[in-house]
């Protein structure tokens, strides 16, 4: 055979990269705007196939890392393509590359996972000889269910751990964790009251791995050996059934309770939300203050006539903030006087010390002159502050000229009539499980998110923000209301059942009743937070260290 015949074909060299890219595409399809959550059960299969079918080589780890990076690059660039909307807003073509820039960093996570998936498995799933018919107890590695399940559990744990790290490292951007794709599967998502979204991600990665292993095993067995059940597949199916059954039981029990006694042990709160749909360009340009104020006055006047006990305005909706000048402050107080309680989002400049600016929520109660304030604790990088300003100031300093100061206190607002405790969440804070559980620990009975979401035009960003927030209600068994500038204005009850109040990108108001449990219990997640994901991180670190030591010892012996 000549050298040309020995050289692998172009297709042989290309298919692993196409498989990795296919995984990235399928992952993106799991989230809005496509929102086909079922793909999450198979989306990682092509990437794992490319990793596991690569013959062991000296630089196989680097090869697997690059495959994972390609999958991540396709996924994150596609799913966060709405970031490019900022280019038109700031009239800067450089910002068209923001999705790719963010993806270049976030792709390190799936790349690390792909490296681990190949490294921990080694040659376990490569083509191997079939069992010797004269040796009834011999089994090639591919047919060993115990090992298959063990490896699958490990790679599921690492994926979960990496999603947890992505949620807090460098302030974190944990949007669109794999488990979020199941937001419409109410029976499956009830488990997050124990595990958080990490538990769903773990389950999905396990299904991806065991599903691929089952296909590889069947390919090896069909027509060559007697087919028989394997408990790795059976246990995985059983786990999905258990999770589904638990959720179905919880939902059926709640539905029966609501049907028999719909108003027992609940407080009914009449809430009105206004969705002003103010273009973000108006907020960046001067000269639109009067138009914004008139729109707010008009919508608030209609909303207040519906007899609400609480009216919500979205994040940073008042031009310059309610404390910017006497006239603006007077306008806000006049609107607040028309209702028992008004909760608004406002910028709050120079409070505490010159240059200390806050993105705040303010509750104004009837009969009280001073507002109750909550300062946003989790700031958005490159939006509300510039990370490493000393190094990046020359690049993005003009886009983020100043930094907001993060709040330090857990937000709690108390209504008088009815007597309720609210947990305010500003902007993206409703996508953060650890932050959201804190007001619930301090007694919050209802979670309220006020957000803008007008920065990204009529893209899928508001919908992605919305589906990420659904899990906060289920994790803590507390209803959550969202009041937004452009949408999605909606509510979800303690079981993730969604009620959309208004269509997005329209200037409207809505008034509805919210049922709030009087004696909401603290869930396991509320008390312990991301302990499941942290456990996965500890397990992953232990396995990596142990295997590394064993390999070093083997190399020394050899």
Which residues are part of the catalytic machinery?
315, 376, 427
The CA-atom distances, in angstroms, between 546 and each of 69, 252, 363, 411, 542 are 25, 45, 53, 43, 6
Instruction: Report yes or no: 339 and 364 within 8 Å, Cβ to Cβ.
Output: no
Q: Which residues contact 102 (CB under 8 A, 6 or more apart)?
A: 76, 80, 83, 173
Assess contact for 539 and 157: CB atoms under 8 A.
Answer: yes
Give 178's DSSP letter: G
d(CA 514, CA 446): 9
d(C-alpha 189, C-alpha 319), whole Å:
39
Residue with tokens 């729109």: 295
**Which tokens is 376 given?**
């946003």
Enumerate the β-bridge partners of residue 348: 358
Cis peptide before 488 (omega within 30 of 0): yes
| Cβ 445 vs Cβ 420: under 8 Å | yes
Sign of CA dihedral 547, 45, 207, 36: positive
Tell me the pairing of strands 372-375 and 480-484. unpaired
Q: Tokens 């290309």 appear where?
A: 14
Q: Quote the CA–CA distance of 452 and 462 in Å, as a whole number.
A: 9
Residue 254 CB: number of other CB atoms within 10 A?
Answer: 15
SS3 for 222? coil
Cα–Cα distance, 438 to 440 (Å, whole number): 5
Query: DSSP string covering 39-95, please?
Result: GGGTTTHHHHHHHHTSPP-TTHHHHHHHHHHHHHHHHHHHHTGGGGHHHHHTT-GGG
Question: What is the tally of helices (H) and strands (E) in the chain?
Answer: 20, 12
Helix axes 98-106, 60-79, angle to 10 degrees: 140
Pick the closest to residue 171 from 399, 401, 376, 470 (CA basis): 376
Q: What is the spatial distance between Cα 280 and Cα 461, in angstroms, rounded to a whole number?
A: 14
CA neighbor of 157 nearest in space, from 125, 124, 108, 204: 204
């Amino acid at each position: 055979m000549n050298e040309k015949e020995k050289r692998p074909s172009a297709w042989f060299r290309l298919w692993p990269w196409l498989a990795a890219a296919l995984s990235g595409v399928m992952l993106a399809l799991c989230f809005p705007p496509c929102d086909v959550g079922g793909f999450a059960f198979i989306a990682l299969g092509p990437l794992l196939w490319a990793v596991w079918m690569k013959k062991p080589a000296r630089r196989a780890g680097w090869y697997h890392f690059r495959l994972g990076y390609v999958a991540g690059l396709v996924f994150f660039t596609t799913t966060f393509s709405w970031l490019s909307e900022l280019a038109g807003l700031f009239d800067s073509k450089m910002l068209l590359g923001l999705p790719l820039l963010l993806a270049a960093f976030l792709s390190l996570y799936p790349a690390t996972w792909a490296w681990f998936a190949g490294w921990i498995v080694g040659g376990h799933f490569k083509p191997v000889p079939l069992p010797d018919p004269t040796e009834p107890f011999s089994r090639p590695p591919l047919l060993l269910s115990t090992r298959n399940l063990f490896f699958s559990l490990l790679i599921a744990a690492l994926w979960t751990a990496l999603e947890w790290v992505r949620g807090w490292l460098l302030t974190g951007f944990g949007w669109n964790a794999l488990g979020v794709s199941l937001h419409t599967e109410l029976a499956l998502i009830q488990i997050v009251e124990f595990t958080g979204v990490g538990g769903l991600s773990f389950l999905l990665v396990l299904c991806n791995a065991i599903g691929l292993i089952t296909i590889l095993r069947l390919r090896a067995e069909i027509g060559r050996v007697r087919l028989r059940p394997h408990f790795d597949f059976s246990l995985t199916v059983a786990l999905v059934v258990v999770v589904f059954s638990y959720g179905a039981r919880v939902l059926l029990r709640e539905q029966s309770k609501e049907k028999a006694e719909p108003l027992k042990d609940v407080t009914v709160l009449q809430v009105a939300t206004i969705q002003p749909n103010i273009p973000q360009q108006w907020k960046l340009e001067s000269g639109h203050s009067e138009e914004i104020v008139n729109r707010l006055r008009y919508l608030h006047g209609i909303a207040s006539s519906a007899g609400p006990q609480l009216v919500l305005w979205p994040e940073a909706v008042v031009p310059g903030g309610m404390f910017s000048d006497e006239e603006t402050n007077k306008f806000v107080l006049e609107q607040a006087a028309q209702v028992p309680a008004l909760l608004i989002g406002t910028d709050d400049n120079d409070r505490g010390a010159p240059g200390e600016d806050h993105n705040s929520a303010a509750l104004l109660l009837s009969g009280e002159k001073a507002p109750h304030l909550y300062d946003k604790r989790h700031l958005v990088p490159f939006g509300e502050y510039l990370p490493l300003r000393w190094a990046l100031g020359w690049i993005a300093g003009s886009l983020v000229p100043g930094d907001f100061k993060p709040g330090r206190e857990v937000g709690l607002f108390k209504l008088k009539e009815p007597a309720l405790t609210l947990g305010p969440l500003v902007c993206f804070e409703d996508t953060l499980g650890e932050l959201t559980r804190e007001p619930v620990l301090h007694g919050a009975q209802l979670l309220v998110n006020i957000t803008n979401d007008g920065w990204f035009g009529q893209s899928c960003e508001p919908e992605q923000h919305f589906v990420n927030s659904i899990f906060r209600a289920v994790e803590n068994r507390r209803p959550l209301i969202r009041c937004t500038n452009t949408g999605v204005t909606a509510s979800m009850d303690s079981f993730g059942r969604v009620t959309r109040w208004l269509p997005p990108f329209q200037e409207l108001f809505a008034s509805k009743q919210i049922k709030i449990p009087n004696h909401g219990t603290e869930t396991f997640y509320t008390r312990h937070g991301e302990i499941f994901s942290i456990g996965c991180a500890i397990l992953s670190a232990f396995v990596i260290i142990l295997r590394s030591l064993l390999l070093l010892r083997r190399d020394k012996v050899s």
